[in-house]
Structure formats: structure tokens, C-alpha cells
Structure 1
């Protein structure tokens, strides 16, 4: 999505404005699909942050779902 601008979407991810993001289930998504997402995030140059609870940590090398 090269035309998606963070400035246009960032409020949807602001916990103070929107609350926490809900847990979601992506029907039919496989471990291979999630690995593709992880790989895309790593290679895209996008800014990202991965948290487990309140702890900021590295994005897992492999999808485990």
C-alpha cells in the first residue's frame, strides 16, 4: 500500500483516542501467510513497534501461529 499515509491512519492506532486494538482472527490465514506479513514488515522500511503486553520487543523471526 504505497499510497497509504501514516498521517491519514495514525489516529486509528492511538490508544488514547481509540482505546486498545481488539484481538482479531483472520479466517483462513496460515502460518505461511503470517510469515509473509512479518517478512514484509521487516523489508518495507515502514516504522513499526512490536509489544508483548507493555514490553517493546523484537518482531519474532518466525510466525508461530
Structure 2
């Protein structure tokens, strides 16, 4: 199974046109999906750090973090699937897993392969699509993990 080639998608990784922090999401999720994601992070041994405000705290159960008080600060989970590649998850809502990556860290074939492997691991674990939208343009995915093909594919036409 061939992966994406950098030359075919590098326009989707241009921080000037896409925004440096594109929006990644897994739509239509549940608390169980969030917990599966947290379990996957631990199982894969991905370096991670969970924080609430300025305090770094142990990774909680999904139910605990998602049932916080409405006026509580939104927790943040930083995950490094490999050296130099960071994904930042925010626990905004139960029904959508939301995270960011920095396109400046994702230049070249090797980093593209890392991102695709990360998105595929999440998508396979949850049995759901993982979509990447331009920064601030949610609902217009340009790249994503397709559950039916088991691959990350380009979703937007080249410009």
C-alpha cells in the first residue's frame, strides 16, 4: 500500500496558504472514542503531557476530563508521535476530537509519512475518519484518513 507522496500534497502543507496550525478533527465521537484515543497514546508509547492551566497532571480518564465544570479551563494534551512532530489535543467537546499540528514541523516526505501514520493509527483505532482542514476553515477538509480504504488521502483538488 503506497502512501502519499510529498510532491503530490506539499501545497497542503504551505503555512502561508493553509495557516501554520491546520485544524484536525475526528467528527461524531463519544466519550468511549476519547478514551480509546487516550489508551492508544499510552499503548503506542507516544511521549505526551497533559496539562490543566499551568499544571502538568497525569493523564485522566476521558469521562473525568470531559465532565469538567463549564467555567473550568480547557485541558490540553500534547502528544509527540515522533521527535519534532507535535499534536495538541483540546478537550472542547465530547462529540469531536479536536487537535492541531504545526505545518512548519511537517515538511518533506519523512514528516508526511509520520503524520499519515499518526492519523491512520487514530482512524483505525476509532474506526472513524480523521480530517485536516485549513486553519480556521473547519468543514472543508483537504486531507484525511478514509476508514474504507484504510489510507490517508488528499481530499482537495490541487490549486
- TM-score category, normalised to shorter length: 0.5 to 0.7
Deviations 1:27-61 (A, max 9, x none): 4110010010010011111111000011000001x
Structure 2: unaligned runs, 5 residues or longer: 1-19, 67-159
When normalised by structure 1's length, the TM-score is 0.54
- Name 1:7's counterpart in structure 2: none
RMSD: 2.4
Q: How many residue pairs were aligned?
A: 43
Deviations 1:7-42 (A, max 9, x none): xxxx96xxxxxxxxx9x9854110010010010011
More strand by share: 2
Larger Rg: 2
